[in-house]
Chains A and B, each alone.
Chain A
Amino acid sequence: MNKFFTAFALLFLAAWGWANPCDLGQQTPLRLMEQELQRSFKILKKQKPPIYYLSYTYTQGEEHSLLVSFDGVAVLRSSPLSAAEVLARAGSPKLDNTHMLRGERENWSVAVGTVPVADAADSKGFLSVWWNATQQAAERAQRDLSQVESNVRSMADTRDKSDDFVFPPQTNYCHTEPLQSVNLEPFIERLTAASRLALGKEFVLDASFAINVTQGHRYFADSQGSRLKTPYSFFRLSYQLSGRSKDGLEISRDGIYDVSSTDQFPSQEQLLADVAQSLDELEELSNAPEGTPYNAPTILKGRAAAVFVHEVMGHRLEGYRLKSADDGQTLVGKVGQPVISELITITADPTQTEFKGEPLRGHYEYDDEGVQARPVVLIENGVLKNFLMQSSPIEGFASSNGHGRKQIGFRPESRMSVIRATASETVPYDKLEEMLIEEINKQGKQYGFIVEDLGGGFTLTSTGLPQSFKLEAKRVFKVYPDGRKEVVRGLDVVGTPLVSFNKIIAAGDDDTLFNGTCGASSGWVPQSNIAPSLLFENLEMEKTRKSDFKPPVLPAPDVKGGKK
């Protein structure tokens, strides 16, 4: 009996918010928001055109930053965050103000205000901000709807005739976490010590070391009756080292540590060792020969593979894009069909909280439309199964799967959460390198590539441009048929998504996490990517863009021969 009771209790807790359930009725901000939302919605739904859906989001928290460079503190700041956002939908779920326009610029913003402290005894200051934001949001929604209606009447039909909105299920959920006490002053010495390693190095142009902590709670209420309170927290230590070669090529190395509390940041010894390693790599890059364009067998190693999956395939799995007539719609009509190598399965699972002990920035309990997060299989053994969905249906996918996400001030869109690529067969990484060399020899190539780090770049998804990608290979080795490796610089990985993903012939057993922050038209959202190293039959490399500027005329003042 006890066993059953325990199991039941655990299940109940899991469903209710594992760690710290709370009482929605006791949440003053939520009670005030609900009061104003109900009062407004009662009137707004009777307007012509009606506001048929209204949601309030209140983000209350704090942000702490420490930025250090060359032995000095540039920023040490702790700021409160208190943002009220109102999203209004005018018209009907069939056609509303958020409808994707053809040939015109979209309006992605929502009404935002900064609110004073929520005080039940003296609520005018708090409520007047919501009232004002609601008025702005409703006016904007009505104005946008008239633009939408005119656009629909005058422009060519769109392929996808799905409704603009499906009501999210009504949900009540309350989870609170006490905010951690954050004091970044003790970390000043740790970061300045690391920053001193960059002094005196002639190949270093810039070096920055940062800690960023954001934590707080997000309150959500909508006209469907959903009431949510969920916590969020991100603790990150990062550094970036950069330089510029004589021919104007920008080079860089970086380090990122995502943790759950400040006491988990890397120790001084570990940080110094990692920074020293990155400096060695930067120096190696600064002296490396420039690569030349070539198509050859390539391994994208751990982190590079994770970035690749995100940029090249992940964005094409975001359902909302498929509604746009201007989108390349690479995967439209391919559900149930093989689209990539059958070796690969891609999932999205925002319910995952950590990977190998590292917190996942893409984790959340409810998305920004109040829909519960859930795992989704997107591509299974190469076959397309699903898309990342928000509360805006697309053909064949009628409801949200909890991926409506946004930055403060933006309207939610279907975005990635925790994206994971897995392989049905894996080999140890050393074996993968052996297979690379075999492939180079088999194809009679002069050399192949191992890309250890992929950085920024772009992936084009608009019909007006080729459906291609170009990603900066920040650290890449040429691998010769005899196994010899040579670092080269100045190369980008280029290609098209369907071709390149079908060239995957093997995968490692070294699943690696890359936590990032992804920018798209609903703003910047924290996000995680996990992938094993991937061996491609071939990938194309081309030259990267160089800066127009030479390195500075004089050496840095701290470099030998620089200081006078």
Chain B
Amino acid sequence: MKKYIGIFLLTLAGPLLAAPLPDNLFFKAMQDEMQRTQKELRVPGSPKPFFTAYKMIYTTVQSFSAAFGVPYAAKAEPESALEAAAYIYAGNAKNNSSGFDNNVYYYQPLVYTSVPLSYEAIRRVLWRLTDTEYIVASTSYERKEAYKRQKNIINPGPDFTASPKASYVQNIEPMPAPDAQASQQLVNVLSALGKELPFLEYFGASIRFSQRDTYFLDSEGDFYQYSVPLAVLSLSATLRNKDGYEEKAQEERPLAWGPMPDQAELEGWTRQFLARLQAMHDAQKAEPYLGPVLLEPKAAGGFFNQLFIRNANRPKPLLSAQRETDPTSGQFKDKVGMRVISHLLDVYDRPYVREYEGKPLQAFMPIDDEGVEAQELQLVQNGKLLTLPSARSVTEGQSHSNGHARMNGKTYPRAMLSNVFFVPKNPMPEKELERQLLDRCRELGLEYGYIFPRFPAINGGKGEMSFAWRIYTADGHKEPVYGLRLEGVTTRSLRDILAAGDNEEVSYFSDAASGIGFSVVAPSLLVDEIEILPTQRKPDRAPFVPLP
């Protein structure tokens, strides 16, 4: 018992003692305006501010790009910009304005972009943000209370749960200037490889270096500052396949900061992409198919993003006087304790992890946007959904936040995942997965199966995809296919996973509703049944003028 008490006390005391408020102009301005707000901001007759938070993001970016070996003019220096947002909950812990969409401002905070870098200017911006957000919060509070009376809603618990004080401070240095000459030279060389395929209408390469420094302070004294550097190499191409369909393709590769990767290796990676483009050009049109599909790691990432993450996010629906249901709230909110995915995978969310096998993860978050220490979650064990992300406005059955409130310019804080790991229990080599795919196809009497390199966006169970491989049961040879229309893809498919590979890769995605970024670490998957129909797109007319 003593041990548990000790751990509990350490948990409380650790963050408290972890770091003093950093001595920089962001925190000085935030703290000064926060104190004034809490002490003085009142409109007679309106509820007082109950909880206030400020978040500032300083982003530095520099890019280099080229097409067919010729550079685009680049900015000489990295470009930086500061943006600031604030949110206020008016009322009290039991009843406050949080979680109500009054449909006037939508559920999104006001954001100031290009905030000037001075104490006085930041104070002014925070002052204006605070004032506007207070008016929004006061209005939302009154409307929410009226709505709850109208619908006879009685809060089973508080609108905003208590949380121990938390802080995280990483020393932040300015983004190191990338080696401009080497970066430009690299994209020139990689994009020049596109000249090898004469049918390419466009082939470009770009490299984007960025650093996002985030500063947060709330009225309970929680704060954080940290920095997320990211470098991403991208290839993009446009082509018209042999049947006249215009196709676009893109490939991204996250890079670790530091010395430029080996050029020969990147050329090899580019040639793999070119091989895919050649296959896209030569592909045949999809025919109706119902059977097993092997998803390569990036496709598996997309599959999980569409079917798992989207449904695990925002488990608590917003209240709104304008609509009865919240379309942004995930379907898994009522499925805790139920089997939602194949027993072959466990699923974790690891917000505090910065990289996986040298690849940066874009959703690093030691403390969430309501000042709660972000916890690792085991979301799924043996296929059963154990828990969901939560914020301080908890759902029924939850007692406290697990530190997953995330906000940006398009949403006030809501419970969302961050770096999601899909961990296979019996991982197997990709060749073995291919063998299992072919065995399953033979079992079902199919001439061929499918391998997806990517997975499309799914809306209403449907999605369009421009490229996949057919693999034939007779001899295992592969043929490229275009124009695939997926039908009936639902969360049911998560339970149809037959096997998983040992080749986890990192993929980046953004939440469709808010644009908040995630990382997904997922291996190849063998899914028992996906329905494919040919696309209904019409081919494009051949260009009037042949390529130069």
Chain A positions within 8 Å of B, measured between CB atoms, are 36, 39-40, 43-44, 47, 67-75, 77-80, 82, 114-117, 119, 122-132, 134-135, 138-139, 192, 199, 205, 549, 552-554, 556-558, 562-564
Contacts and interface: CB of A to CB of B under 8 A. Distances in A.
Q: What are the 8 A-B residue pairs with the smallest beta carbon separation, nearest first?
A: A72-B118, A72-B116, A125-B70, A80-B73, A72-B121, A70-B121, A127-B548, A125-B68
B128 A552 contact: yes
Given A73-B116, A563-B123, 19 more contacts: A40-B545, A44-B544, A68-B116, A73-B118, A74-B117, A77-B75, A80-B73, A116-B73, A117-B70, A124-B69, A124-B70, A129-B202, A131-B201, A132-B238, A135-B543, A199-B120, A549-B135, A553-B42, A564-B35
Interface in B74-102: 74-77, 79, 81-82
Contact of A554 (B32, B40, B544): B40
A44 B76 CA distance: 40
A14 B202 CA distance: 43
A556 B124 contact: yes
B67 A129 contact: yes
Interface of B: 32-33, 35-37, 39-43, 66-77, 79, 81-82, 114-124, 127-128, 131, 134-135, 191, 195, 201-202, 238, 541, 543-545, 547-548
Given A116-B70, A119-B70, A128 B547 contact: yes
Contact of A556 (B82, B127, B202): B127
B66 A125 contact: yes
23 contacts: A47-B544, A67-B116, A69-B116, A70-B121, A70-B124, A71-B120, A72-B117, A74-B82, A77-B75, A80-B73, A80-B74, A115-B72, A117-B71, A125-B191, A128-B202, A129-B67, A131-B547, A552-B131, A553-B41, A553-B42, A554-B37, A557-B32, A557-B127
Nearest to B116: A72
A131 B201 CA distance: 9
B116 A71 contact: yes
A353 B114 CA distance: 34
Contacts of A134: 545
A297 to B, nearest CB: 41
Contact of A135 (B40, B68, B544): B544
Contacts of B202: 128-129, 132
Nearest to A204: B124
A128 B68 contact: yes
A69 B70 contact: no
Contacts of A72: 115-122
A316 B127 CA distance: 44
B545 A131 contact: yes
**Interface of chain B, main secondary structure:** mixed
Nearest to A138: B544
A40 B42 CA distance: 68
Contacts of A123: 548
A428 B124 CA distance: 45
Nearest to B540: A139
Contact of A40 (B72, B117, B119, B544): B544
**Interface of chain A, main secondary structure:** mixed
Most A-side CB within 10 Å, residue of B36, B69, B115, B116: B116
A125 B120 contact: no
A78 B116 contact: no
A558 B544 contact: no
A562 B32 CA distance: 11
Contacts of A78: 75-77
A205 B39 CA distance: 22
Contacts of A126: 70
B70 A122 contact: yes
Given A40-B544, A128-B548, A552-B131, A75 B114 contact: yes
A199 to B, nearest CB: 6
B75 A124 contact: no
A47 to B, nearest CB: 6
A552 B130 CA distance: 9
A192 B29 CA distance: 18
Nearest to A44: B544
Given A44-B545, A78-B75, A135-B545, A553 B121 contact: no
A242 to B, nearest CB: 12
Nearest to B40: A554
B545 to A, nearest CB: 5
